[in-house]
């Protein structure tokens, strides 16, 4: 029976994606950028849409929500997966509304009045069957995929608007988006980049090597020197792991220090973040994520003391929105205060909790 | 020649004085005179004779298996395309987790609420192993059941797990011989135990191994993985201390020695003549018990019937290196975590390391085993909670705490460095520190637990205090109002049951009465031990310390075994008088170290004894040599009868022989005295009776 075959094939793919997600966590498995994760998630969701059994939009949303919950649970620190699930849910809602003939705007945002009158009954309406829904949804997801593929290019295209000749730019750690952004600017302009090394994992070193290969004048500085060097810096350009709903960041540790130093010297802080990093999470306590990082100084003590020593190594910093000047996403530059608006465009409010 | 000696990764100044003294000693050896060489050319030559025929056996094996699509091992050109395989030994072949392992095999014991075998399989899968053979012996059905339910047996699993069970496995050697007999492995494979917790990335080691193999055809048979951890490091367990002499350039192991209980170190001089000019002698390594083996390893185990453990194998291979030309290499990793849960102390350490995220990305909240409802949240100070946990008013989870699902904790509790399983109920005012509490445990109010293991379904009543290193095995009830001293082990199994079980194959019950009258079984729970409402028996020794003793004994036995087997392989034509000498030394050793294990040892060597002790004269010789030993040690006379009994039961000695020896006119007063020993007289009497009864039967 071909149907059953398809189902097992699908579940196999989902399983392997899940285990991949779990393993890649931070570094153990194949190290991938979040753009790739986003693309893979979307491709998988497209496959689910194409192959799973569903008769109406409500069913499909239920299936996607279920798988989405599993995927986000597999690697809670990777928010991209959840974001992509929300995007796809939003697409289904839109396509459904279009099939029904109602305008997008009507379904867009629940007004206060609408909330009072209709309650939460919108879910019932998804039960109607439309023959073209599947094709439409898949097409819309394909569009999303094309958008994802172009994100880095779209961001780096804006580089020349922000980086001018003979500027001193500071960045921290390694971000593929920032890397592409700087390289793009370097084709036309000459500037100097300071890279904070971002101890203890020192991704900054990789970043610096990669930049210097493109003939960008690059200096690696220790994290402790950030404040001292800041007075010379014209702009700080960083990447981030997640953009939170309030316009804050969850970024690699050390970023908060950098942002505070930039604030002190009134240096503009620009965050390069593609739209798929936008997460409806509001704020976030700094995640502790200790890597297998042997602290050599603790080894000197005897057994007894060592068992009482806890070596914590936080991986992410929370950066409050007040410290950020500008977000550059693939659809243009935005102020942190505008993030909430972008969010309501990207995700449906009912999908914030998967 | 240049020899560098590593005892720890830092300069020697930081070494504890003990190690410095060791350093001096071995330095003296290293630079000392050549006379100290411990080579025995004769022995080597003789052994050579034994091994000439050996390589033929695997080939003939292969020829016999015509049913399978034959893939001659030698012509394995496409080695890179072979999927990586692993052999996982889900049995420890020792009793260090007794009495807990009486109810549950060690591989299934929960470590941070996940079975140990899942950690091992996760490690293997993440290193890219695609096919794993799990070998189980003790409680094999339970392991099988567990694996079938787990994610490893789902059709989507990237790692195909085959479970192979047999009751006949008695050691690692047996398992590998079976691997060879069934020709399970086609190319290089990983060999691990079912209780290894690790996140080491072995791809580099694997590559080096393959490179060595391709460069020097089939010379390097094994690459062992070590983790650098200086003395005093937490994950270092004293029993696992090893000293390794290695070639600094090629990473070849030249000498491998377990350092435990050794006062002096010897390095055979010849290892420093091996062509290289750079040697390292290292004491700062921790054996992760992960090794990359070539298929030859399994073959070598088949060829050498006496190899039982990996220790035997490594030592044997190094001693015979010149003849067989096989080499062992090593790979040292600096980051990464790898440890084997070999005893309860290690259980404590590895558990707390897992909670403290040293084994990242294998952390509790990752729910890598993909169990339903096991997902938990992780918050500051390494506090993990699964779903449905309720915490009473004023209770504090200080740090490094993992609480399983649906566990209820009362008010005003203080919990630190603790793992609590699922569905537990904990009362008010309870203090838990370094406690490992498994599933469905009930703990009443005002209980204090320090560094203890509490197994499934245990009930701890009001006001109980558990001091360090207590173990409450399955279903035990303790209390109320009792303080258990340090190192108490309680189990629902009576300690004597163990002995019975052990001897089942050889003893029928009525044979027992002869010398075991004193062990009238107390089937009544002793309220002084477990409290007025308690249920459970107290085991004799504290388990944590016991493990060390065990280990010591094992080490010595390993040594004796090793020497014995060497001795045997040298020549089959030795007279019994020579063997008698060996026996003497053997007995010496075991008497010296408290003869707890003589039985298993005797059992093991019974066929050898039987081979030599054939004629009545041999028996007399044997007895005489035994007598000699015992005469020197009056305090151990009671043991004589036990040894005799075992040897009689193993059919090494016969009634007539023993009677003849007993009745033989003895010359000295002392031996007369020996013969008047109460136990011996009883034994002789019993023998006579048995004889008579058997005669009557006829």
pLDDT digits (tens, 9 = 90+) for B43-97: 333 333 333 333 333 333 333 333 333 344 444 444 456 788 999 998 888 777 8
With contact defined as beta carbons under 8 Å apart, do A274 and A177 qualify? yes
Q: Is A73 on the interface with B (CB under 8 A)?
A: yes
Q: Using a CB-CB distance cutoff of 8 angstroms, which residues of chain A are in contact with residue B233?
A: 299, 303, 306
With contact defined as beta carbons under 8 Å apart, do B400 and B353 qualify? no
Q: Are residues B89 and B208 in the same domain?
A: yes
Distance from CA of B17 to the nearest CA of A (A): 13
Q: Are residues B159 and B294 in the same domain?
A: yes
Q: Is A77 on the interface with B (CB under 8 A)?
A: no
Q: Using a CB-CB distance cutoff of 8 angstroms, which residues of chain A are in contact with residue B365?
A: 76
Q: Is B230 on the interface with A (CB under 8 A)?
A: yes
Cα gap B232→A118, rounded to integer Å: 68
The average pLDDT across B661-690 equals 74
pLDDT of residue B317: 83
Q: Are residues A166 and A147 in the same domain?
A: no
Least confident of A238-252, B590-604, B608-622: B590-604
Higher-confidence residue of B372 and A100: namely: A100
User: How far, in whole angstroms, is CA B116 from its chain's centroid?
Assistant: 15
Q: Is A76 on the interface with B (CB under 8 A)?
A: yes
The residue in chain A having the minimum alpha-carbon distance to the alpha carbon of residue B399 is: A310
Distance from CA of A299 to the nearest CA of B (A): 7
pLDDT of residue B192: 92
Is residue A124 domain-resident?
no
Least confident of A170-174, A297-301, B211-215, B636-640: A297-301
Is residue A32 domain-resident?
yes
Q: Are residues B609 and B654 in the same domain?
A: yes
Is residue B355 domain-resident?
no
Cα gap A336→B680, rounded to integer Å: 92
pLDDT digits (tens, 9 = 90+) for B6-45: 544 333 323 333 333 344 334 333 333 333 333 333 433 3
Q: Is the pLDDT of residue B164 over 70?
A: yes
Q: Is A290 on the interface with B (CB under 8 A)?
A: yes
Cα gap A155→A145, rounded to integer Å: 16
Q: Is the pLDDT of residue B686 over 50?
A: yes
Cα gap B232→A303, rounded to integer Å: 5
Q: Are residues B645 and B672 in the same domain?
A: yes
Highest mean pLDDT among A118-127, A248-257, B613-622: A248-257
Q: Are residues A69 and A140 in the same domain?
A: yes
pLDDT of residue A70: 85
Is residue B68 domain-resident?
no
Q: Are residues A268 and A195 in the same domain?
A: yes
Highest mean pLDDT among A25-39, A56-70, B267-281, B294-308: A56-70
Q: Residue A34 has which token pair? A: 């979040």
Higher-confidence residue of B211 and A22: namely: B211
> pLDDT averaged over chain B?
73
The average pLDDT across B120-131 equals 88
**What confidence category does residue B167 fall into, taking pLDDT thresholds of 50, 70 and 90?**
confident
Q: Give residue A92's domain range.
A: 3-104+130-151
Is residue B11 domain-resident?
no
Is residue B12 domain-resident?
no
Q: Are residues B102 and B164 in the same domain?
A: yes
Q: Using a CB-CB distance cutoff of 8 angstroms, which residues of chain B are in contact with residue A289?
A: 357, 360
pLDDT of residue A28: 38
- The residue among A121, A151, A181 that closes a domain is A151
Q: Is A289 on the interface with B (CB under 8 A)?
A: yes
ipTM score of complex: 0.71
Label the pairing between strands B431-433 and B448-450: parallel
**What confidence category does residue B412 fall into, taking pLDDT thresholds of 50, 70 and 90?**
very high
Higher-confidence residue of B481 and B545: namely: B481
Q: Are residues B135 and B195 in the same domain?
A: yes
- The residue among B345, B380, B412 that closes a domain is B345
Which burial class, exposed, middle or buried, applies to B160 when counting CB atoms under 10 A from its CB (0-12, 13-18, 19+)?
A: middle
Q: Read off the CATH number of the domain in which B440 is found.
A: 2.160.10.10
pLDDT digits (tens, 9 = 90+) for A103-131: 555 545 555 666 666 555 455 567 788 88
Q: Read off the CATH number of the domain in which B624 is found.
A: 1.25.40.180
Q: Is A58 on the interface with B (CB under 8 A)?
A: no
Q: Are residues A251 and A226 in the same domain?
A: yes
Q: Are residues B114 and B214 in the same domain?
A: yes
Is residue A354 domain-resident?
no
Q: Is the pLDDT of residue A76 over 50?
A: yes
Q: Are residues A321 and A173 in the same domain?
A: yes
pLDDT of residue A198: 86
Q: Is A70 on the interface with B (CB under 8 A)?
A: no
Q: Are residues B615 and B645 in the same domain?
A: yes
Q: Give residue B415's domain range.
A: 372-506+523-539
Q: Is the pLDDT of residue B551 over 50?
A: no
Q: Are residues A86 and A180 in the same domain?
A: no
pLDDT of residue A139: 93
Q: Are residues B566 and B606 in the same domain?
A: yes
pLDDT of residue A265: 95
Q: Are residues A222 and A336 in the same domain?
A: yes
Cα gap A89→A80, rounded to integer Å: 14
Number of domains, chain A: 2
Q: Are residues A134 and A189 in the same domain?
A: no
Q: Are residues A41 and A141 in the same domain?
A: yes
Is residue A113 domain-resident?
no
Is residue B76 domain-resident?
no
Is residue B32 domain-resident?
no
Q: Are residues A79 and A191 in the same domain?
A: no
Q: Are residues A205 and A303 in the same domain?
A: yes
Distance from CA of B434 to the nearest CA of A (A): 11
With contact defined as beta carbons under 8 Å apart, do B197 and B111 qualify? yes
pLDDT of residue B229: 80
Is residue B66 domain-resident?
no
pLDDT digits (tens, 9 = 90+) for A325-354: 999 998 889 999 999 889 888 898 888 887
% of chain B exceeding 70 in pLDDT: 69
**What confidence category does residue B521 fall into, taking pLDDT thresholds of 50, 70 and 90?**
very low
What does the DSSP assignment read for B567-586? Answer: HHHH-S---HHHHHHHHHHH
% helix, strand, coil for chain B, step of 5: 40, 20, 40
pLDDT digits (tens, 9 = 90+) for B435-459: 999 999 999 999 999 989 999 999 9
Number of domains, chain B: 3
Q: Are residues A175 and A142 in the same domain?
A: no
Q: Are residues B217 and B149 in the same domain?
A: yes
Q: Is the pLDDT of residue B429 over 90?
A: yes
Least confident of A209-213, B23-27, B279-283, B405-409: B23-27
Contact B335 A294 (CB under 8 A): yes
Where does B106-264 have alpha helices with state H?
A: 116-126, 140-149, 172-181, 203-215
Closest C-alpha to B476, from B466, B491, B488, B494: B491
Is residue B248 domain-resident?
yes
Q: Is the pLDDT of residue B184 over 80?
A: yes
First-to-last alpha carbon distance for chain A, in angstroms, is: 33
Mutate which of B234, B350, B378, B416 to disrupt the A interface (most A C-beta within 10 Å)?
A: B234
Q: Are residues B531 and B562 in the same domain?
A: no
pLDDT of residue B545: 43
């Amino acid at each position: 029976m071909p149907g059953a075959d398809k189902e097992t094939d699908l579940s196999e793919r989902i399983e392997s994606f899940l285990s991949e997600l779990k393993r890649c966590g931070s570094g153990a498995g194949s190290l991938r950028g979040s753009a790739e994760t986003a693309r893979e998630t979307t491709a998988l969701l497209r496959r689910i849409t194409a192959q799973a059994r569903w008769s109406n939009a409500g069913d499909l949303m239920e299936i996607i929500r279920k798988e989405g919950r599993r995927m986000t649970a597999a690697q809670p620190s990777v928010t991209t997966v959840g974001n992509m699930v929300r995007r796809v849910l939003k697409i289904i809602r839109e396509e459904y509304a279009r099939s029904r003939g109602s305008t997008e705007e009507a379904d867009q945002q629940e007004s206060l009045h609408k909330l009072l009158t209709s309650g939460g009954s919108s879910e019932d309406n998804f039960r109607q069957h439309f023959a073209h829904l599947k094709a439409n949804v898949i097409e819309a997801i394909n569009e999303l995929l094309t958008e994802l593929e172009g994100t880095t290019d779209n961001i780096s295209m804006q580089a020349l608007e922000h980086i001018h000749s003979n500027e001193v730019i500071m960045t921290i750690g390694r971000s593929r988006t920032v890397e592409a952004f700087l390289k793009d600017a370097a084709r036309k302009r000459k500037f100097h980049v300071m890279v904070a090394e971002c101890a203890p994992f020192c991704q900054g070193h990789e970043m610096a090597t990669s930049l210097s290969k493109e003939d960008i004048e690059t200096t690696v500085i220790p994290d402790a020197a950030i404040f001292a060097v800041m007075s010379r810096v014209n702009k700080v350009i960083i990447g981030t792991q997640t953009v939170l709903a309030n316009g804050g960041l969850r970024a690699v540790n050390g970023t908060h220090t950098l942002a505070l130093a930039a604030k002190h010297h009134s240096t503009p802080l620009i965050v390069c973040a593609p739209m798929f990093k936008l997460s409806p999470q509001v704020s976030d306590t700094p995640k502790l994520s200790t890597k297998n990082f042997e602290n050599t100084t603790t080894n000197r003590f005897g057994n007894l003391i060592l068992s009482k020593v806890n070596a914590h190594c936080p991986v992410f910093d929370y950066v409050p929105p007040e410290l950020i000047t500008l977000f550059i996403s693939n659809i243009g530059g935005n102020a942190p205060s505008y993030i909430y608006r972008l969010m309501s465009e990207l995700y449906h409010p009912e999908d914030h909790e998967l | 020649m240049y020899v560098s000696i590593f005892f720890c990764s830092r300069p020697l100044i930081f070494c504890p004085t003990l190690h410095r003294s060791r350093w001096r000693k071995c330095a003296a050896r290293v630079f000392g005179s050549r006379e100290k060489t411990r080579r025995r050319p004769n022995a080597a030559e003789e052994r050579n004779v034994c091994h000439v025929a050996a390589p033929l056996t695997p080939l003939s094996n292969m020829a016999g298996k015509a049913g399978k699509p034959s893939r001659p091992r030698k012509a394995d050109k496409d080695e890179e395309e072979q999927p990586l395989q692993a052999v996982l030994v889900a049995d420890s072949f020792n009793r260090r987790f007794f009495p807990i392992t009486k109810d549950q095999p060690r591989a299934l014991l929960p470590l941070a609420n996940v079975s140990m075998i899942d950690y091992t399989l996760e490690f293997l899968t993440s290193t890219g192993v695609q096919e794993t053979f799990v070998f189980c012996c003790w409680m094999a059905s339970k392991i099988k059941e567990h694996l079938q339910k787990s994610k490893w047996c789902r059709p989507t699993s990237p790692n195909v797990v085959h479970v192979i069970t047999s009751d006949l496995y008695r050691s690692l050697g047996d398992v590998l011989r079976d691997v060879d007999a069934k020709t399970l492995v086609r190319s290089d494979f990983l060999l691990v135990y079912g209780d290894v917790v690790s996140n080491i990335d072995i791809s580099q080691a694997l590559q080096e191994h393959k490179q060595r193999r391709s460069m020097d055809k089939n010379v390097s048979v094994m690459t062992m993985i070590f983790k650098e951890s200086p003395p005093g490091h937490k994950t270092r367990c004293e029993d696992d201390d090893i000293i390794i002499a290695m070639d600094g350039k090629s990473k070849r192991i030249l000498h491998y020695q377990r350092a435990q209980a050794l006062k002096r170190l010897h390095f055979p001089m010849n290892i420093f003549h091996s062509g290289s000019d750079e040697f390292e002698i290292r004491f700062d390594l921790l054996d992760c018990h992960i090794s990359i083996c070539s298929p030859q390893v399994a073959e070598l185990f088949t060829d050498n019937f006496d190899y039982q453990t990996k220790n035997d194998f490594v030592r044997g291979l190094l001693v015979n290196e010149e003849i067989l030309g096989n080499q062992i290499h090593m790979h040292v990793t600096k980051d990464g975590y790898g440890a084997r849960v070999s005893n309860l102390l290690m259980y404590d350490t590895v558990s707390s390391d897992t909670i403290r995220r040293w084994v990242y990305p294998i952390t509790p909240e990752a729910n890598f085993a993909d169990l339903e409802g096991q997902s938990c949240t992780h918050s500051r100070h390494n506090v993990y909670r699964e779903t449905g946990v309720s915490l009473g008013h004023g209770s504090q989870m200080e740090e490094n705490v993992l609480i399983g699902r649906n566990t209820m904790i009362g008010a005003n509790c203080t919990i630190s460095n603790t793992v609590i399983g699922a569905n537990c109920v904990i009362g008010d005012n309870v203090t838990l520190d370094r406690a490992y509490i498994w599933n469905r445990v009930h703990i009443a109010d005002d209980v204090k637990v320090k560094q203890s293991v509490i197994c499934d379904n245990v009930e701890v009543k009001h006001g109980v205090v558990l001091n360090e290193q207590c173990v409450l095995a399955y279903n035990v009830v303790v209390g109320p109002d009792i303080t258990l001293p340090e190192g108490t082990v309680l189990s629902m199994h009576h300690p004597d049951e163990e002995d019975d079980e052990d001897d089942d194959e050889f003893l029928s019950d009525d044979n027992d009465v002869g010398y075991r009258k004193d062990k009238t079984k107390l089937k009544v729970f002793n309220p002084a031990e477990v409290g007025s409402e308690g249920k459970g028996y107290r085991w004799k020794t504290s388990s944590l310390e016991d493990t060390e003793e065990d280990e010591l004994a094992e080490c010595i036995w390993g040594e004796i075994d090793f020497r014995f087997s060497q001795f045997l392989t040298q020549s089959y034509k030795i007279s019994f008088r020579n063997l008698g000498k060996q026996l003497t030394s053997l007995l010496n050793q075991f008497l010296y170290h408290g003869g707890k294990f003589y039985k298993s040892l005797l059992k093991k060597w019974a066929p050898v004894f039987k081979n030599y002790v054939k004629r009545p004269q041999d028996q007399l010789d044997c007895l005489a040599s035994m007598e000699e030993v015992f005469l020197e040690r009056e305090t151990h006379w009671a043991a004589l009868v036990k040894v005799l009994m075992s040897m009689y039961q193993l059919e090494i000695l016969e009634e007539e022989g023993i009677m003849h020896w007993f009745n033989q006119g003895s010359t000295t007063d002392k031996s007369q005295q020996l013969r008047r020993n109460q136990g011996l007289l009883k034994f002789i009497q019993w023998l006579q009776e048995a004889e008579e009864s058997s005669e009557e039967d006829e």
